[in-house]
A and B are shown apart, each in its own frame.
Chain A
Amino acid sequence: MEFYTMLEFDIFTKNWAYIFMGVAVITMLGWWLFLTGQDEE
Chain B
Amino acid sequence: MSNHNHHDTGQSPWITPFNVIAGLIVLMGIYLTYLRFTGGLAAVTNLDDYYPWGIWISFDLLCGVALAAGGYTTAAACYIFGIKKYHAAVRPAVLTAFLGYALVVFALHYDVGQPWRLAYPIFVQQGTTSVLFEVGLCVFLYLTVLFLEWLPAPLEWLKLKRVRNIVIKLTLVLTVFGVILSTMHQSSLGALYLILPSKMHPLWFSSHLPIYFFVSSMFAGLSMVIFESTLSHRYYHNKMDKEHLEGTPHVTFGFAKAAAWIMAGYFFIKLFGVVLNDNWGYLPTFYGFIFSLEMLGFVALPAFLYAKGVRDKNVKLIKWTAVLAVFGIIFNRFNVSLVAYNYHLPSELKYFPALAEIGVTIFVVTVGLILFKLISTRMPIFYEHPDFKGSH
Contact = CB atoms under 8 A, between A and B. Distances in A.
B268 A34 contact: no
Contacts of B275: 13, 16-17, 20
Interface in A9-41: 9, 12-14, 16-17, 20-21, 24, 27-28, 31-32, 34-38
A16 B271 CA distance: 11
Given A13-B276, A35-B257, A28 B264 contact: yes
A35 B312 contact: no
A20 B271 contact: yes
Interface residues of A, number: 19
Identify whether the interface residues of A are mostly helix, strand, loop, or mixed: helix
A17 B312 contact: no
Given A9-B278, A13-B278, A34 B307 contact: yes
B302 to A, nearest CB: 13
B291 interface: no
B236 to A, nearest CB: 30
A41 B339 CA distance: 47
B268 A17 contact: no
Contact of A12 (B261, B278, B307, B312): B278
B120 interface: no
B277 interface: yes
Contacts of A9: 278
B63 interface: no
Nearest to B312: A38
Nearest to A9: B278
A14 B68 CA distance: 35
B310 interface: yes
A37 B368 CA distance: 39
Contact of A32 (B261, B268, B271, B277): B261
Given A9-B278, A13-B276, A28 B307 contact: no
B278 A35 contact: no
Interface string B257-291: 10011001100100110011110000000000000
6 contacts: A13-B276, A20-B272, A28-B265, A31-B264, A31-B307, A35-B260
Interface of A: 1, 9, 12-14, 16-17, 20-21, 24, 27-28, 31-32, 34-38
Closest 5 CB pairs of A and B: A24-B268, A38-B311, A16-B275, A35-B307, A17-B275
Given A1-B278, A13-B277, A38-B310, 5 more contacts: A9-B278, A20-B271, A27-B268, A31-B260, A36-B257
